[in-house]
């Protein structure tokens, strides 16, 4: 790719001290059937030995911010600030893109410019034993034809399944949130862009369990209801109070509908 020409896609790849996972994520990008992209790797940890080989590919840029750690939100914001492409993609080091992800998304973006495009995804559960990964389940999640307004109640779109137009309306990630910064970012985008589904399985979202059967985010499960409540307060929608109350109830948090009707009001 000619480095003087702006790429169609900028892919922001965030990582931290997981070199084996990072290598798989990088390979899923290098295996793309389209090549009009740049990759901005933002690392919050120690630079892996494999990075020297990765950077032989001129499409890859590496930034290490381990001395200024503010989490994945800050890493993504840094990546956004450096992006030269027309459209933006995000990838965490433990997830993978399907080989035709960029081709499918570019076709969709060319047909409907300026929209946020989201695709279907596979949820893959894998066992993590030291440096060994073993897949134990895989399930397709077909969400491209869902009403995007469902995201106002709960997030059904993983960040790696979406491409965003780079424009003045693109928000930034809130670096103060303890969780759900992806969802908060998407709700911000919903105020500025039309969302369009692409009926393709575009990525793999990988969830790991250890040998004791615990999921990687299991320590935060008791707080999920309160995390959701915090997002509802940031993005109040009184007309969805009943749906939101029912969803919180499914998470074990009993919040009266009238509270959610008035949430966010002064």
Helix (H) or strand (E) holding 224: helix 224-234
Closest CA to 11 of 137, 106, 152, 115: 106
Whether residue 126 contacts residue 206, with contact meaning beta carbons closer than 8 Å, is answered with: yes
DSSP state of 22: H
pLDDT, position 63? 95
Is 36 in contact with 8 (CB distance < 8 Å)? yes
Would you kindly state where each structural domain of the chain is located, as residue ranges?
9-216, 218-266
Give the pLDDT score at 263.
Answer: 82
List 138's β-bridge partners, or say none: 124
For each of the chain's 266 residues, which pLDDT tens digit applies?
445 679 999 999 999 989 989 999 999 999 999 999 999 999 999 999 999 999 999 999 999 988 777 899 999 999 999 999 999 999 999 999 999 999 999 999 999 999 999 999 999 998 877 667 788 999 999 999 999 999 999 999 999 999 999 998 899 999 998 889 999 999 999 999 999 999 999 999 998 876 554 454 544 455 667 888 889 999 999 999 999 999 999 888 889 999 999 886 65
pLDDT of residue 134: 85
Alpha-carbon distance of 15 to 158, in angstroms, equals 17
CATH of domain 9-216: 3.90.550.10
Give the CA distances from residue 54 to residues 67, 93, 164, 258, in Å, rounded to whole numbers and listed in that order.
Answer: 22, 14, 25, 54
C-beta separation of 11 from 32 below 8 A = no
Q: Which two tokens stand for residue 264?
A: 């966010």
Pairing verdict, β 87-92 and 162-165: antiparallel
pLDDT at site 95: 96
What integer pLDDT is reported at residue 252 of this predicted model?
A: 85
Give the pLDDT score at 129: 72
Q: Would the pTM of this model clear 0.85, i.e. be above it?
A: yes
What string of DSSP letters covers 59-72? TEEEEE-GGG---H
């Amino acid at each position: 790719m000619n480095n003087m020409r702006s790429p169609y896609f900028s892919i922001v790849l965030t990582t931290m001290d997981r070199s084996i996972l990072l290598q798989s994520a990088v390979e899923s990008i290098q295996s793309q059937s389209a090549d009009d992209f740049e990759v901005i790797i933002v690392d919050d940890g120690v630079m892996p030995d494999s990075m020297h080989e990765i950077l032989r590919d001129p499409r890859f840029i590496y930034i290490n911010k381990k001395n200024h750690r503010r989490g994945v939100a800050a890493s993504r914001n840094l990546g956004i600030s450096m992006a030269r492409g027309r459209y933006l993609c995000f990838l965490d080091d433990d997830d993978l893109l399907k080989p035709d992800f960029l081709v499918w998304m570019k076709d969709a973006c060319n047909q409907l410019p300026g929209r946020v495009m989201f695709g279907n995804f596979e949820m893959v559960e894998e066992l993590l034993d030291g440096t060994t990964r073993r897949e134990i389940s895989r399930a397709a999640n077909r969400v491209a034809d869902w009403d995007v307004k469902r995201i106002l109640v709960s997030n059904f779109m993983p960040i790696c399944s979406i491409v965003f137009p780079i424009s003045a309306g693109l928000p930034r990630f809130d670096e103060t949130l303890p969780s759900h910064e992806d969802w908060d970012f998407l709700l911000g985008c919903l105020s500025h862009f039309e969302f369009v589904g692409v009926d393709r399985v575009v990525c793999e979202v990988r969830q790991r369990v250890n040998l004791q059967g615990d999921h990687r985010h299991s320590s935060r499960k008791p707080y999920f209801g309160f995390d959701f409540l915090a997002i509802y307060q940031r993005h109040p929608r009184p007309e969805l109070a009943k749906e939101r109350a029912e969803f919180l109830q499914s998470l074990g948090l009993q919040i009266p509908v009238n509270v959610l009707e008035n949430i966010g009001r002064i």
